[in-house]
Amino acid sequence: MPTPTTPLAGGPLPPKPIDRLLTPFRSFTRLEAAGGLALMAAAAFALLWANSPFVDSYLELFATPFTIGFGELAISKALVLWINDGLMAIFFLVVGLEIKREILIGELASVGKAALPFAAALGGAVVPAAIYLAINAGAGEPASRGWGIPMATDIAFALGVLALLGSRVPIGLKVFVTAVAIVDDLLAVLVIAFFYTDDLSIEAMFVAAGVVVALMAANLLGVRRISVYAVLGVGLWLAFLQSGIHATIAGVLLALAIPARTRVDARGFVDRGRELLDRVEGPHDGAPAPEDVDLRLDHERTAAIWQLEDLAEKAQAPMQRLEHGLHPSVAFFIVPLFALANAGVVLGDAVGPALGSSVSWGIAVGLIVGKQVGIMAAAWLIVRLGVARLPLGVTWRHIYGASWLAAIGFTMSLFVGELAFAGTDVLEIAKVGIFGASVLAGVVGYLVLRLTTRPQGGPETVSADPLDSG
């Protein structure tokens, strides 16, 4: 007689609780990893285009002005600014949704879970910024404004590298890297909001505050239609655009207002869903079988299907539906387009000055050295104090490899660089530092993790030295 853990007739084993828990996370990391590969391709293409005989077409394309609106209500910006200020607001909306999800139900939902990634991310942000400021001490403006650049971690690139390692990487390390990157994104949002702002418009800030109140009121009143939040979100973006605070912050604030609760509990969904499915199936007293019914002519069954669709929507939180719906567009269109528009550096003009610039060296050393020192020291301290412990199957060598991957700043580093050095020649120099550090970090991180582990199912090639003792 088969036991509960024995497959019947050679069928698949029933899913374990841990599988149900990790399935959404695995789907997320697969999407992020694939998006990271798309991002790599877009960045490489931008560099090739900018260093080809067609460089003028590259520069002219993204400098092309576009106007949306009419009369005094029109907004005119270069294409690159529509991407950086407009489309990237959607990127930050998804970042905000990811942060909210992790805080509510994910790796940041409790002190025990959040302690290790939060400490690692904090150390991996503070130490690189301090190194940058030390290297650029006395450099003055605009060099001193770049301290926020090496604080960043590019989650898509990091997970893209992990994807290349396949089954060699334990799921616990992927969870750790993702959580660190999400906390890192939260810190980056705060830095952008408080330190990278232009002259503030009090009137626009009051308007933005009013829209935020309206968003919170909609949440409290139980409004679940995404269209309502979308309209208010556009208004919030326009207010921030005029306020002096970067417009992408509107995406994060909008994410905080999106409802995270469902309107139907699990029991109610199952009971009502079964009732509706019975109506679709119909009676069993000689009535036509469902496969013989023309649903276009059977109004009762069609109404039941519509109600079932509405029920399924109510059983999903708007936060989950929005994140799930936006994630592919962000991963495969918005972020690669941002890389294409911003990664095109004419290396022949920028590499020479970058080699002698404290800005590029501050970024590179901040990312490479600062991330390793900050993440390893903070993680070791928080584990040593007994506040947290390493994830199951993860060793200190894994954490060291992850500290290299965290030095891939790319997307967020480029974004902060645009804010810090917009309109100056320093921007191209900063990009060289970002590219150099990110490529080196990705290659070394890949090699460290590849040499540290074997595909799951085989023994790990980890020596029993003090570095690996937990």
**pLDDT for the residue numbered 286:** 53
Total number of domains in the chain: 2
**pLDDT for the residue numbered 19:** 53
> How far apart (Å, rounded) are the C-alpha atoms in residues 408 and 437?
7
**pLDDT for the residue numbered 460:** 41
156: confidence class by pLDDT, cuts 50, 70, 90: confident
Q: Are residues 397 and 344 in the same domain?
A: yes
pLDDT at 354 over 80: yes
> How far apart (Å, rounded) are the C-alpha atoms in residues 174 and 170?
7
**pLDDT for the residue numbered 232:** 95
**pLDDT for the residue numbered 234:** 94
Q: Are residues 43 and 167 in the same domain?
A: yes
**pLDDT for the residue numbered 462:** 40
pLDDT at 285 over 80: no
Give the pLDDT mean for 351-378.
95
What are the φ and ψ backbone dihedral angles of 456, each rounded to 5 degrees?
-60, 135
**pLDDT for the residue numbered 292:** 56
Structural domain includes residue 28: yes
What is the DSSP code (8-state) at residue 83?
A: I
Amino acid at 422: A
Q: Are residues 279 and 359 in the same domain?
A: no
Q: Which range, of 20-24, 34-38, 138-142, 395-399, averages the lowest pLDDT?
A: 20-24
> How far apart (Å, rounded) are the C-alpha atoms in residues 32 and 160?
7
Q: Are residues 290 and 327 in the same domain?
A: no
Q: Which range, of 189-203, 300-314, 364-378, 413-427, averages the lowest pLDDT?
A: 300-314
Contacts 24+ apart (CB under 8 A), 104-112: 104/260, 106/179, 107/175, 107/178, 107/179, 107/182, 108/179, 108/182, 108/183, 111/387, 112/388
Give the pLDDT mean for 137-149.
88
In this structure, what CATH number is given to the domain that contains residue 384?
1.20.1530.10
**pLDDT for the residue numbered 423:** 83
What is the DSSP code (8-state) at residue 246?
A: -
**pLDDT for the residue numbered 366:** 96
467: confidence class by pLDDT, cuts 50, 70, 90: very low
Q: Are residues 41 and 125 in the same domain?
A: yes
Q: Are residues 43 and 122 in the same domain?
A: yes
What is the DSSP code (8-state) at residue 369?
A: I
Domain ranges, residue 387: 23-66+114-184+323-409+424-468
**pLDDT for the residue numbered 298:** 62
User: Is pTM beyond 0.85 here?
Assistant: no
Q: Which range, of 22-31, 109-118, 188-197, 267-276, averages the lowest pLDDT?
A: 22-31
**Percentage of the residues of the chain whose pLDDT score is greater than 90:** 42
Q: Which range, of 16-20, 124-128, 400-404, averages the lowest pLDDT?
A: 16-20
| H-state helical runs in 284-345 | 299-314, 318-329, 335-342
Pull the structure tokens for residue 143: 């060099």
Q: Are residues 309 and 401 in the same domain?
A: no
**pLDDT for the residue numbered 26:** 56
Structural domain includes residue 456: yes
Q: Which range, of 40-44, 187-191, 300-304, averages the lowest pLDDT?
A: 300-304
> How far apart (Å, rounded) are the C-alpha atoms in residues 25 and 171?
9
Paired residues of 75 in beta bridges = 68
Structural domain includes residue 262: no
Q: Are residues 402 and 307 in the same domain?
A: no
Assess contact for 146 and 136: CB atoms under 8 A.
yes
Structural domain includes residue 385: yes
Name the average pLDDT for the chain. 83
Question: Angle between the 88-105 and 249-257 helix axes, to the nearest 10 degrees?
Answer: 40
> How far apart (Å, rounded) are the C-alpha atoms in residues 378 and 126?
11
Nearest Cα residue to 51 out of 322, 258, 353, 348: 348
Q: Are residues 284 and 398 in the same domain?
A: no
Assess contact for 254 and 229: CB atoms under 8 A.
yes
**Percentage of the residues of the chain whose pLDDT score is greater than 70:** 83
Assess contact for 259 and 217: CB atoms under 8 A.
no
Q: Are residues 173 and 280 in the same domain?
A: no
- Select the more confidently predicted residue: 28 or 446: 446
Q: Which range, of 10-19, 264-273, 377-386, averages the lowest pLDDT?
A: 10-19
Q: Are residues 347 and 381 in the same domain?
A: yes
Nearest Cα residue to 331 out of 81, 105, 155: 155
**pLDDT for the residue numbered 60:** 93
Nearest Cα residue to 158 out of 449, 451, 464, 360: 449
Q: To 10 degrees, the CA torsion angle through 248, 249, 252, 256?
A: -140
Up-side HSE of residue 298: CA atoms within 13 Å toward CB? Answer: 18
